[in-house]
Structure 1
């Protein structure tokens, strides 16, 4: 029976009056009594909603963990199974990890490039591991994500997307590598010497720019100098260096990482931190490192204004004699398998008091002057002199401008010492607008354009010698992508045993300083563009990376020392 509008109005008046209506049966009266109770008493709907939500959630959790087919499978998307991947040894490794379809849409599983063994004479060992590659997403970042990362308690809802990383493939040594590692040090060096001499074909290494090197692919027997991927990979496979723990700080084991002599300190730091090349067993070593600092030696022992550096040489002589008496390795080769790294101008003179140290030891020196008879080309290594202003950021300001943004033809600014710089200023200071040649950079000019900005705005950077033949401006020019102009007779450019400096620099004789502008303008624009491009390409070989990478300055110096050691080995004709 339907109620009229008049009857509904009466419902709200009084429960007693509503029940007394004559035309209602007993069931309708009981229903109306219930409606009256609901209308008469106020219900707390918030509490009712919370109770219903808790009961619903409890019911879903209960069936998820108890029933064989939980309700979650009714509405959640299916899962994508990652089945297997290929390992180094060719076996198939099955992966039981699963990814949801939502996560799989954000990652594409793609094979990486084949992993090629260092040994080029063996077959290529290919590996196709699984790598997650993010799909294209919006570059906009949620600003609240940083705040969520700072919280110690992570919301469990953010943990639903779990990225599965397969285990890294294990590098399995080849049979040839195991054979090399089993050889005594002398036999391993002999093996490397024969490998390089007999190499017929060498795979092109994409990390080496062929135009920068004397010869990337073949061994020049008459010049005894080249770098190729075979000699480099042999160094990575074979070379072990023993670092003598003897010597007190600060002269030993205390790298100086700042200033123009920082190269010796950075090499010492990275060498002592290295785990690939360093061995604690001297019987397995192919080279022995004397970890002293010529800069620290000068600071500790030199008496200012005494003009006497002989005490420095005597100190180093006594140290080497102690090493020779304590260990059998020096006397075994008379120091020919030992090396030192010194960038201070006095580095060559600290070895004069010890005959074997001066003649036999491999010396990596910034002061690579052929005229004094201490630096021996082909045996010693010309060490790049790098200026590090901030040891925490050694690569700061590296880079330059485009050629179109370099209006200055040539630039130099520096103190007046040595025989070359006064002559340079005599002919070119304030003589030509295109030739920005100064002594110390004047304040009126540095306020408008700093020293580094000048180098980045110049096509050629003049690098004259100072007291000694070396100059930090050579590497600075490379850092700022300016073609270096080297003016220093009898100077061996850094890493000259492997790098072809004619490809990215201009070498001017000291007698040709009056014709300097004429020499620079005679270089065709097309030739200059090639040289400037080569400067950019060679830059990575002169960088001190806090963590060394292949073919950077640390590895280039070590390779030159390794190659010098190989050149000392004589192979009998029989």
Structure 2
């Protein structure tokens, strides 16, 4: 249903009755741009970044033009607590059971978005529109909880947005986006054609062969656990273990093969389940940390490895790595085909000390891209994800 121009004009003139109907302008501050220009010179040789000059120009243009509107929960819509925001908190019954963990990135993107530097109440200026339902909150809400109920909730919400907001109708949803880190989000969106095929999904589970994921349309962003700040990284010469991995193997043939090969290798800390020491220590004392495909192509181990200064070894075919159009992953990570897992140790031992030290230096350089802050900081995960969205701002875009 298309809304008439007269209705649009009246809607724009009337202040929103919803306190969370914020129209968000994502702008980088002048100081950030100055820092970017200083930093660019050091990125050209041996850089972990791809085409840094283009990234700089794009980021500068994005900072002056990119605008996002957050779609509010429609009036009288049930379960408003399932629309996470910087100001609203879930009810106590949900707070007791909610666990961010693997879904921390989903939560922090929304918090950072609502705390980004400038807010506008003029949706006609927006390049993109944000659908703020939270899959994680829905999963932990006893009133919804089940996958079928979550899918029904998302369908009802999107249907109301299509009915009540003309901007969806003018683009069939192609300039709208939603964020999630749980596979339930993928299934929930599949029930509505426009949401699945037109809207941009921002997801941790980004695979070239994943159902409903379209690489040129959708955005893969990093799955990050809420880890305490690491004041000082363990230096390379103090990392005495070659490899570290610990995790469940029941849902992964590749992980089972890994344990069978090196579960008893004294030079490699490879464990089925939890290690006999604190989980974080494995990252601190190892040169390389394995990310091996489990149920999904992604896990938080990639971000954990980067956080603790351990070179990621990615054994997960078809994983569309976060920010791959900006970051040259081969400069700070090792990528091994799942079919060559038996060659992992040989490949890692063949890496020269000089190359390893270069990779460690590059890893230190990109760590800031895998951090979330409640109030966004330059080049953090929020700004890197916003840049990916900005690149997609004109895909199938129609005039309002």
Q: Which bin holds the TM-score, normalised by the shorter protein?
A: 0.7 to 0.9
Is there any run of 5+ residues in structure 1 with no aligned partner, and where? 1-202, 219-227, 390-394
Q: CA deviation at 1:257?
A: 7.8
Q: Is 1:279 the equivalent of 2:106?
A: no
Rounded Cα–Cα distance in structure 1 between residues aligned with 2:233 and 2:99: 24
Q: State which of 228, 233, 242 in structure 1 corresponds to 2:60.
A: 233
**Which residue does 2:101 correspond to in 1?**
259
The alignment status of 1:414 with 2:247, answered yes or no, reads yes
Q: Decide whether the 8 Å contact of 1:301 with 1:312 is kept in 2.
A: no
- Alpha-carbon deviation of 1:396? 2.4
Distance 1:346 1:497 in 2: 27
Q: Are 2:243 and 2:288, in contact at CA under 8 Å, matched by a contact in 1?
A: yes
Matched, 1:439 2:272: yes
Match of 2:53 among 200, 204, 217: 217
Q: Deviations over 1:35-87 (max 9, x none)?
A: xxxxxxxxxxxxxxxxxxxxxxxxxxxxxxxxxxxxxxxxxxxxxxxxxxxxx
1:109 alignment counterpart: none
The 3-state SS of whatever aligns with 1:206 is helix
**Offset, 1:397:** 2.9
User: Which residue of structure 2 aligns with residue 243 of structure 1?
Assistant: 70
Contact persistence 1:540–1:551 (CA under 8 A): yes
Match for residue 344 of structure 1 among 182, 189, 194:
182
2:375 paired with 1:547? yes
Pair 1:382 & 2:210 matched = no
CA distance in 1 between counterparts of 2:205 and 2:115 reads 26
Offset at 1:350?
Answer: 1.9
Instruction: Give, in angstroms, the shift of residue 363 of structure 1.
Output: 1.1
Partner of 2:37: 205
Deviation at 1:302, TM superposition (A): 9.0
Q: How does 1:299-310 map to 2 (within 5 A)?
A: 299-300=140-141, 309-310=147-148
Q: TM-score, normalized by length of structure 2?
A: 0.81
Contact 1:243 1:291 (C-alpha < 8 Å) held by counterparts: yes
SS at the partner of 2:355? helix
2:229 match: 396
Q: Within 5 Å, which residues of 2 pair with 1:58-457? A: 205-208=37-40, 209-210=43-44, 211-218=47-54, 228-246=55-73, 248-253=79-84, 258-276=100-118, 278-300=119-141, 309-389=147-227, 395-397=228-230, 399-419=232-252, 420-430=254-264, 432-442=265-275, 445-446=276-277, 450-457=278-285
Q: Which has the higher contact order (CA 8 A, sep 6+)?
A: 2
Distance (Å, rounded) in 1 between the aligned partners of 2:245 and 2:155: 39
- State how many pairs are aligned: 344
More moved, 207-216 vs 354-363: 207-216
> SS at 2:256's partner residue?
helix
Deviation at 1:568, TM superposition (A): 5.0
For residues 251 and 216 of structure 2, the distance between their equivalents in structure 1, rounded to whole angstroms, comes to: 27
Shift, 1:281, TM fit: 1.8
Report the 3-state secondary structure (helix = DSSP H, G, I; strand = E; otherwise coil) of the residue aligned with 2:247.
coil
Q: Is the 8 A contact 1:400 1:482 kept in 2?
A: no
Shift of 1:560: 0.7
Q: Report the Cα distance in structure 2 between the residues aligned to 1:207 and 1:339, rounded to whole angstroms.
A: 31
Q: Is the 8 A contact 1:410 1:435 kept in 2?
A: yes
Asked which structure has the greater CA Rg, the reply is 1
Deviation of the 1:314 alpha carbon:
2.6
